[in-house]
Chain A
Amino acid sequence: DVKVTQSSRYLVKRTGEKVFLECVQDMDHENMFWYRQDPGLGLRLIYFSYDVKMKEKGDIPEGYSVSREKKERFSLILESASTNQTSMYLCASSPLGQPSTDTQYFGPGTRLTVL
């Protein structure tokens, strides 16, 4: 069974802290994604990676960075958390192939609150 796991379901951090959100998939997928989900805005792509050590900016990369040192793991980093980064963060993965048609598999999400 396909599985994408995220390190925390809920996280509370203070303004200015460095925050790491971890995502692991066990499907040997090449592509991995980080989204944030906000009410009324749907999901917006922050960054994605199509291979180890490769990354591309999504639609809202400002204030975020990512790391992919191993194929199964994709980390989202908030260098200095701010209150406007309070949100639900969703990780997803998809296989190598035709990314525009491939199904993305999602983790359960991390609800981050920045105080």
Chain B
Amino acid sequence: AQSVTQLGSHVSVSEGALVLLRCNYSSSVPPYLFWYVQYPNQGLQLLLKYTTGATLVKGINGFEAEFKKSETSFHLTKPSAHMSDAAEYFCAVSRMEYGNKLVFGAGTILRVKS
């Protein structure tokens, strides 16, 4: 079975600092990879996804993530944090062989300090 590990349940950065949220997956075959964001009192929305092709994926709000097969990682980054980035971030994986289901990580709450 595939699983997703997000390192750090809480991450705190200063406004303007680099944001790095870590995600590792366990799968013998590269899965499809997603990052979703959940703002307070809202549902989840897609930030970005990797399916095939270029391993550096750009998403909304200045976020990007790089698929590294050798490290089984899909870390999310943003060069400069903004107060509005404060939210919970979820990494997720899926594969057709696993019934097309999304498997989510436990989530990382990002706090941005002024």
Which A residues are within 8 Å of any B CB, using their own CB?
4, 40-45, 48, 56, 58-59, 90, 92, 98-101, 103-109
Cross-interface CB contact of B106 among A41, A58, A100, A105, cutoff 8 Å: A41
Known contacts A56-B99, A101-B32, A103-B49; is A42 also within 8 Å of B104 by CB? yes
State the total of A-B contacts with C-beta under 8 angstroms.
58
A100–B96 contact, CB under 8 A? yes
Cross-interface CB contact of A40 among B9, B32, B42, B100, cutoff 8 Å: B9
A106–B45 contact, CB under 8 A? yes
Q: Is B95 engaged at the interface, CB distance under 8 Å to the other chain?
A: yes
Which B-chain residue is minimally distant from A41 (CB atoms)?
B106
Q: In the assembled complex, which residues on chain A have CB atoms less than 8 Å from the CB atom of B42?
A: 108-109
Q: Which of A4, A101, A107, A108 has the most CB of B within 10 A?
A: A101
